[in-house]
Structure 1
C-alpha cells in the first residue's frame, strides 16, 4: 500500500525544484496531485511527467499564491475535480535578500507576501475542506527562521520563515479540535536552481558551506520531500505542530568547529 493512496494533495510551486519533486513523489505514493505555479507551462510539464509515470495530476491555470482570488479558484477547482482536499503543501515562495540597512521596503514587503502571506492565503482557502477530511497542512520554513547568519544578508527571509514556523504551530492548535494536523519542514541550504544562482554561486561566501555541514553535503530537493511525505502520511498521525529541520545537522552545531577525531584505542 502506497503511503498517500487516494489522498487529494494540493501542492503549490510545482514548476520546478522542491515543488516539482514533491508533486512527483506524492503522485508516486498514490496521491491525486493538484499543482499550480505562475510558471504555468513548467507546471504543466510536471503534470505530464506524473502522467508518464502512471500517476494522476491536475494543473489548473496559472496560480498566484499572493492573490486571494487566484488561490480560491485553484482550491475550488481541486475540490470540484476530486471531491475534496486531504493535504495542502504550501510550498511556493520567492525571496529577495538584503540587509536591514540596505534592503528597500519594497523588497522586504515582496518577500513577506511571497513567503508568509502566500501560506496564510492557501491555508485560509483550503481550511473548510481540510476540516471535512480531517486533513493536514504542510508548510515550508527554513533554518533562516531559526538562526541568524553572518554570511547571508536575509533579514526579510528570516522574518518570513520564522513567522511561517510560528503560524504552523498556531494552525496545529486551531486544527486539533477538527483532527487537522499542521507541520512544517525547514530546509537548510538546498541545491536548486535559485540557490545555484545566488548562495552557491562562485563569488558567494556560502559557496564552501558544504564542508561545514556535519553530514558533508548540501541538501537535495528529494531530502525535503521525503520529510514532507512522512508528515503527510498516516505514519505521522500523532504529530502536529512540529518543525522538522532538514539541514544535515547544520543548525545543530557551532559554526566552524573543527572535526574531532576519536584517538581512543
Structure 2
C-alpha cells in the first residue's frame, strides 16, 4: 500500500497564501509536515473572509506544529520578491518547493476583452500574473535543494480555452506566458534536478470568487452544465495536485501542466 507523501523537514513557499487557494495549499502542506513561507500583498485577506479561526495565517500554521515565515510584499516588485525569498531561506533553510499562486483576474470584467483592455490593466495583469512568478522563481532557484527542488506555477484553464464571451483576455495571456516560461525552466533546471510544472484550475469557488461572482458572471449555476462533474471546484479539490507536483511522487515529471477542472472544456455546448 502506497503511503501518503510527506513533507517532513521540507521548506515550502506559497505565494498569495493569505486566502483562497493559496491558503489551502499552505495549510495542506503544513499538515503534511512542511515548514512554510507565506507571501501575500495583504496578509489579513483571509481573516476578513473568515477563512480560518486563528489570529493570522501564520498562527494557523504554527498551530499545526510547523515553523512559518510570513512576509507581506508586492511580488511584482523584483526587490520585494527577492527579499521575501531570501528571508525564508535564511530563517527556515534551503527551499524544497515553491508554489507560485499569487495573481488573479483582478481588473474590471467589462474592460477585460482583447479589444478594450486599457494600458493600466494590461500592465497590472502582466505584473501580477507573470512577472511576480518570474521574480520569485529567479530568486528561489539559487536557494533551492538540488536535486529534488520543485517549482509549481498556478495558471488558469483560460490559458487553453477562452471565456465564452471573450473576457479576461490579458489575464489568460499572462498565465499562458507563465506556462511557456515554466517549460523553459524545466529544460534549463532539469540537469540540476529541479522540476517545474503548472496547474491550471478551472472554476474554483473561493470566498473571493464567490463575492465577485454575480458582478463578473462567474460561478453561475448554468455554467455547471459545461462541467462533466456538474459542480464547481473547491479549494480542497486543488490541494492534491499541488501535493503531487511538489513532492517526490512526481519525481520524473517536469514541464507538464495538470488541469484541475472537473472536465471543463470536454463538453461542446
TM-score (norm 1): 0.90
Q: Matched residue pairs, number?
A: 253
Deviates more, 1:175-184 or 1:185-194: 185-194
Deviates more, 1:100-109 or 1:67-76: 100-109
Question: Deviations for 1:121-179, whole angstroms, at most 9, x for unmatched residues?
Answer: 01001111126453110000111001122235111011111111111111110110100
Alpha-carbon RMSD across the aligned residues, in angstroms, is 1.8
Q: Quick check: 1:30 aligned with 2:66?
A: no
Unaligned runs of 5+ in 2: 47-54
Unaligned runs of 5+ in 1: 257-265
| Structure 2 residue corresponding to 1:51, chosen from 57, 62, 85 | 62
Q: Quick check: 1:147 aligned with 2:158?
A: no
What pairs up with 1:210-229 in 2 under 5 angstroms? 210-229=224-243
Cα pair 2:94 2:145 within 8 Å, conserved: no
Cα pair 1:71 1:121 within 8 Å, conserved: yes
Deviates more, 1:81-90 or 1:42-51: 42-51
Q: Quick check: 1:19 aligned with 2:19?
A: no
Residues in 2 aligned to 1:185 and 1:124: alpha-carbon distance in whole angstroms: 19
Residues in 2 aligned to 1:129 and 1:204: alpha-carbon distance in whole angstroms: 42
* Aligned-partner SS, 2:38: strand
Residue of structure 1 in register with 2:51 after alignment: none
What pairs up with 1:242-257 in 2 under 5 angstroms? 242-254=256-268, 256=269
Residue of structure 2 in register with 1:90 after alignment: 100
Residue of structure 1 in register with 2:184 after alignment: 170
| Structure 2 residue corresponding to 1:134, chosen from 122, 141, 148 | 148
Residues in 2 aligned to 1:228 and 1:151: alpha-carbon distance in whole angstroms: 30
Return the index of the structure with the highest Cα Rg: 1
Cα pair 2:5 2:248 within 8 Å, conserved: no
